[in-house]
Amino acid sequence: MFSTDQFLMLIAFFFIIGVLTTKFSSRFGIPALILFIGIGMLAGSDGLGLIYFDDASLAQLIGIFALVIILFEGGLSTKWATIKPIAVPSLLLATVGVILTSLIVAVAARFVLDVTWLEGMLFGAIVGSTDAAAVFAALKNHNISEKLGATLEAESGTNDPMAMFLTLSFITLLTTDRVGFLSVAGDFFIQMGVGLAAGLLLGKAASWLINRVNLESSGLYPIIAMGFALLTYSLTAVVGGSGLLAVYIAALVVGNSDLTYRHTIFSFNEGFAWMMQLGMFVILGLLVFPSELFQLEIIIQGLFLSAVLILLARPAAVFLTLIGFSYSLREKLLVSWAGLRGAVPIVLATFPLIAGLPNAQLFFNVVFFVVLTSALIQGTSIAPAAEKLGLTGPKKVTPFHSLELVSIGKANAEIIEYTVNEETKVIGQTLSDIAFPPDVLINAIIRGETLVTPYGETTIENGDILYILVSKKRKKDLKTLLGERRSVPED
């Protein structure tokens, strides 16, 4: 048993090693989830024996908490203008695509695992959805075309609710005789409808509150945002809706709203999502016992079901779902190959364990093996496949500048960042010629990689990034001056 000091030291090593593995992951193309899970398996009782962990309920709690944070961060960073053109096909992939994938895998699981048809359907539902954490991480630093990147991110952000719904529904059908398929179908529309409505409502409420509350420190605004994420999930789930869908929709609303302290909120949530991803995968790694996982029978079953999922079920679901949409053969091939499985199937595999189903441990081990196979084979080859198929876009550029927003709540003012573009009214004008409203001051201009100190004769150029100090009562005037509909946050 660890003392408090030893336990904290162990946690510190987990965090440091986990963060350092992300560098190793990006350099060698190995998905971070494999490395994080490996850390958990190494620290577990079948590895170094540092930690004995077999609490499926606690793992599920940590997993769902982490998924809420990861989905929220993914939704925040998703631009509505980017996903709007592909919203319908992404939604179909997240619903019809998951059902088709689950059905095909269920047939294979029925015979490979020698289980009942209903149990086969449960297994198919568990592995039916792509994983938001894995997809967001895989696409973050790769220059896959914007259309396909948006399709994959929108699909992975919205298909978790379908997979969870199907999993819980089949567990209910297996454990009780009082529920029929018609009742399950009715529950689906209720859960998704409530989730959508709750996400829109609470997303707007979060945006309104963030822009109006006047806090003493900018560091408190991300806490409000995170609190709303957890509130959105829990409140929606309590009233019978899909909490995961609500979280993603709320994050889309918040992320596409004009926010006070946007950089602070986004930076905090990105870091916190990485921390939760690390913690979740380590816990899931601890939960599995390698001596049980790497048995010949499990390996054979896992490899066969992985092949069915990757080479048959996913492509069939993608090609059938995208009939009639403007996706080329090459694009459909890449979408098929990029259907990464990750933490979600493993978390869903804990539900049968908690329910005490007869084949629950078998399902968990095989699902774990399928996830490892998907991550190793698909996760390491998405970027090369996109390049081979000619589906790469412009190289993603990481800005060389950074901005720390200072809380000046007592002065009722804030510093905002604004990027000049073709629609900006003041482009080509000098600062002395621009009739700025009172209480507005250009503090700095970033031009390319250069910091420009603003003075009267400085000319505003396309692509300039302006850092503007403005009192809250003058933000609307500044918005009118710049001439864009969404240039400055609303009060």
Query: Which tens digit of pLDDT belongs to each residue from 226-239?
Result: 999 999 999 999 99
User: What crossing angle do the helices spanning 132-140 and 262-287 adopt, rounded to 10°?
Assistant: 120
Largest CA distance in the chain: 79
pLDDT recorded at residue 179: 58
Each residue of 164-186: b (16+ CB within 10 Å) or e? bbbbbbbbebbeeeeeeeeebee
Single out the residue of 430, 405, 434, 435 nearest to residue 417, CA to CA: 405
pLDDT for residue 23: 67
The pLDDT score that the predictor gives to residue 29 is 54
Cα separation of 491 and 476, whole Å?
Answer: 8
Does residue 135 contact residue 340 with C-beta atoms inside 8 Å?
Answer: yes
Confidence check: pLDDT of 325 > 80: yes
In sequence order, the 6+-apart residues with CB closer than 8 A to the CB of 28 are none
The pLDDT > 90 percentage for the chain reads 26
**Whether the predicted pLDDT of 103 surpasses 60:** yes
- Which amino acid belongs to residue 327? Y
Structure tokens at 364: 């968990």
Amino acid, single-letter form, for residue 84: K
Annotate 265-330 with DSSP letters as a single string: HHHHHHHHHHHHHHHHHHHHHHHS-HHHHT-HHHHHHHHHHHHIIIIIIHHHHHHHHTTTSS--HH
Q: Which residues pair with 276 in a beta bridge?
A: none
CB 309 within 8 A of CB 288: no
Residues 6+ away with beta carbon under 8 Å from 406: 218, 415
Place of tokens 């999502």: 273
Structure confidence by residue, pLDDT tens digits, 420-460: 887 788 888 888 888 888 888 888 888 887 888 888 889 88
User: How remote is the C-alpha of 91 from its chain's centroid?
Assistant: 15
Helix (H) or strand (E) holding 143: none
Tell me which H or E stretch contains 408. none
- Say if residue 408's pLDDT is above 90: no
Structure tokens at 415: 């510093």
At residue 100, φ and ψ (nearest 5 deg) are: -65, -45
Distances from the Cα of 137 to the Cαs of 30, 33, 149, 153, 283, in angstroms?
Answer: 11, 9, 12, 10, 19
Give Cα separations from 233 to 167, 202, 272, 274, 292 (angstroms). Answer: 18, 10, 17, 19, 34
φ, ψ dihedrals at 109, nearest 5°: -65, -35
Phi, psi of 454 (to 5 degrees): -75, 140
* Terminal Cα-to-Cα distance of the chain (whole angstroms): 53
Q: What angle do CA 212, 214, 217 make, to 5 degrees?
A: 135
Kindly tell me if the per-residue pLDDT of 399 is higher than 60: no
On whether the CB atoms of residues 123 and 363 are closer than 8 A, the answer is yes
Q: Is 409 left (phi over 0), alpha (psi -120 to 50) or beta?
A: alpha
**Residues 176, 351: Cα–Cα separation, whole Å:** 15
Taking alpha carbons only, the member of 67, 60, 72 closest to residue 247 is 72
How high is the mean pLDDT of the chain? 82
Cα distances from 87 to residues 92, 150, 164, 400, in angstroms, run 9, 9, 21, 32
428 dihedral zone (left: phi>0; alpha: psi -120 to 50; beta): left
Q: Give the whole-angstrom CA distance, residue 191 versus residue 188.
A: 5
pLDDT of residue 401: 43
Q: Give the pair of three-digit tokens for residue 378.
A: 């698909």
pLDDT tens digits, 166-178: 898 889 888 876 5
pLDDT-based confidence at residue 393 (cuts at 50, 70, 90): low
| Beta-ladder partners of 465 | 419, 446
**Residues 184-213 pLDDT 10s:** 677 888 888 999 999 999 999 999 998 888
